[in-house]
Structure 1
Amino acid sequence: MGVKPRVLVMMATYRGESWVGEQIDSILGQEGVDVTLRICDDQSPDGTFSICRSYANRFPNIIATRNEMNLGVNDNFMQMLYEDEAGDYDYYAFSDQDDLWMPNKLEAAVEMIEAKTSSEEPALYYCDLFNVEGRNESRELYQFSECERHPATVLLRNYINGCVMVFNRSLAQIVRSYRPNHFPRMHDVWLHMAGRFCGTVIADTDHAYMKRRITGSNVVGKTTLNPGSIGETIKLALLAFQPYDRVQSETAQLFYAGYDKYLKPEGRRVLEEFLHYRDSLDNRIRYSGSRSYWLPSPEALLRMKVGVLLGFY
């Protein structure tokens, strides 16, 4: 039997005492890989950290620490990836505290990455997932599979959840080579952009290897499109009358500056086109009709195009 790939799983916890133990068990039960579970608790006021610490006391492949102050989910995840100790693994994955992973989740990802890329090629894999609400289960990410043909979508709206991502050392090394002062958007957006513009994204929406419990306290819930939502339209209209942050443009600018030397030609083109879309009305009109981004709901796509035309991103 060969040496198992070493995988670092990074779990951010906060108020998760009701579910975190089951998720830790499902990670410890991963087959075909050598897992190290890194847990960082973000000052949970309940018993979450006590549960995590008890696991760490029993299992040498679990490291559990607690932040001195609450950082928020985004910075909590990213600080684990940038730790010195995080540099020596073959593969990396993010984990939420309230999910359940199937035993072959990591093994399936590693096998597909190795089948489709070389070890030197930066690669990001993702699968589909099951949303679990009571007794109901539903698949989510398959509806976004067409987005793989429209690489600029992530610049306006992310559709890949961090909990379904697995990425290799080559991609992790690129990400770790630069750290901005802050991340305007979520950690999974940053990793998605790295895979999309600096490497290869492997979409496996035919398979779902995990269950996400929709508990009502999830930091990020289902990726919904709200195709007929009046509320979404009203929020877009209100931007015309109040100050707003263009976090999408800020994120793209930081990313472009930090990873310029790693960008693939097509990735560079997509980023530059987006970064200049607000330079003139002609650019906004042209970009609003671009085929480089897409959403499966015509109504949601129309709202996005209107937002582009008005320069809201």
Structure 2
Amino acid sequence: MTDFVNENLSLNSDLELPLVQSVAEPLVAILLCTYNGERFLADQLDSLEAQTHQNWVLMVSDDGSKDSTLDILLKYQSKWPQGKMIIRNGPQKGFCQNFLSLACDSEIKADYYAFCDQDDVWLPEKLAVAVQTITSNQNIYVPFIYCGRTTYVTEQLKPCGISPLFVFPPSFRNALVQSIAGGNTMVFNLAAKLLIEKAGPLNVPSHDWWVYQLISGAEGDVFYDPVPYLLYRQHDGALVGGNNSFSAKMERVKMLWQGRFQDWNTQNIVALKEVKHLLVKNYQEILKIFETLRSARLMDRFRLIEVCGLYRQTRRGTFSLFLAILLKKI
């Protein structure tokens, strides 16, 4: 496993994560990435401690924090049982690579895995609901991801909205042009973890969008929960925020016009082509058509999007998709 920040950050650097065979509840490895998160980290750690599903271990990858983040982590590590929290150095290549460094680590062993942001608050039932949903619906040999909505809150945790309710089925055709849920809601099974490991830490814009593309492209199962179990802080320091406000919508229009989505799609396509052997044959063909339509003549672009069957989850999203095609910004 990657070196720890220093010898004192882990109570036992040779510690092997406990396995779940001898206990009633499945083991969940919570994958937390931190970077200068001192303002809200304690709230998140308290919410993890309050989970009704208690069989979990916290794997923390700190990306070079300069504030008191590590001090806060050490404080909680010292009061929790031995092995409950393990802290290590992140790759310092941004939040996406930090999360992928954890998700792709074959030495992190558990039954289920959950991405965790440093400034959210989990409702007590979050892990329990996700684990129950997966265990009730999964084929253990098929990648399965649970994700869902979030409640937007202010820095003081006052509700200020809710993420969009998506009703169309999750699929690779949707994943190519839209990320439907934040990584902070994602819990996945061992089969999904092994698939992510096989793909490796590729250069992609966002770990959650990438995981949605990869799992759906391999014909894994994606479950979208319409009930939120997470308080998602909206503040200037957030790397990624909600998209319900007028200013957020205008910012996305600006990003579309500037070609940001086009750049992200290019990154995703390059990554998907690198691991196309992990995708089912039909979706390999869809990916090829999607790449072709991006540079095709206008008349051909609209025909090819119909052949691909691409779709987004809302009318506004579908309009944005066609606008991007019209402007050749996809």
Give the TM-score category using the shorter length.
0.7 to 0.9
1:187: how far off?
0.6
1:230: how far off?
5.9
Number of the residue aligned with 1:184: 204
Deviations 1:51-72 (A, max 9, x none): 01222233221012234x7321
Number of the residue aligned with 2:113: 92
Aligned pair 1:285/2:302, yes or no? yes
1:95: how far off?
0.6
1:216: how far off?
2.3
- Count of residues paired in the alignment: 302
Conserved 8 A contact 1:225-1:297: no
What SS class does the counterpart of residue 78 from structure 2 fall into?
helix
1:106: how far off?
1.1
Conserved 8 A contact 1:287-1:308: no
Query: What is the letter of the counterpart of residue 64 of structure 1?
Result: I
Q: 1:224 to 1:297 in 2, by over 3 A?
A: farther
Number of the residue aligned with 1:18: 39
Conserved 8 A contact 1:10-1:37: yes
Q: 1:236 to 1:16 in 2, by over 3 A?
A: closer
Number of the residue aligned with 1:158: 179
Name whichever structure is richer in strand by fraction: 1
Number of the residue aligned with 2:128: 107
Number of the residue aligned with 1:73: 95
Tell me, which stretches of 5 or more residues in structure 2 are unaligned?
1-21
Conserved 8 A contact 1:197-1:264: yes
Distance (whole Å) between structure 2 residues aligned to residue 127 and residue 233 of structure 1: 24
Conserved 8 A contact 1:42-1:66: yes
Distance (whole Å) between structure 2 residues aligned to residue 215 and residue 109 of structure 1: 26
Aligned pair 1:62/2:65, yes or no? no
Number of the residue aligned with 1:296: 314
Tell me, which stretches of 5 or more residues in structure 1 are unaligned?
none
Name the % identity. 23
Of 252, 259, 264 in structure 1, the residue corresponding to residue 269 of structure 2 is 252
Distance (whole Å) between structure 1 residues aligned to residue 119 and residue 250 of structure 2: 31
Number of the residue aligned with 2:162: 139
Of 288, 292, 305 in structure 2, the residue corresponding to residue 272 of structure 1 is 288
Q: 1:18 to 1:55 in 2, by over 3 A?
A: same
1:201: how far off?
0.5
Distance (whole Å) between structure 2 residues aligned to residue 93 and residue 34 of structure 1: 13
Distance (whole Å) between structure 1 residues aligned to residue 172 and residue 28 of structure 2: 27
The two structures, once aligned, show a CA RMSD in angstroms of 2.7
What SS class does the counterpart of residue 293 from structure 2 fall into?
coil
Distance (whole Å) between structure 1 residues aligned to residue 325 and residue 177 of structure 2: 9
Q: 1:103 to 1:259 in 2, by over 3 A?
A: farther
Q: 1:203 to 1:303 in 2, by over 3 A?
A: closer
Distance (whole Å) between structure 1 residues aligned to residue 248 and residue 184 of structure 2: 28
Distance (whole Å) between structure 1 residues aligned to residue 322 and residue 138 of structure 2: 34
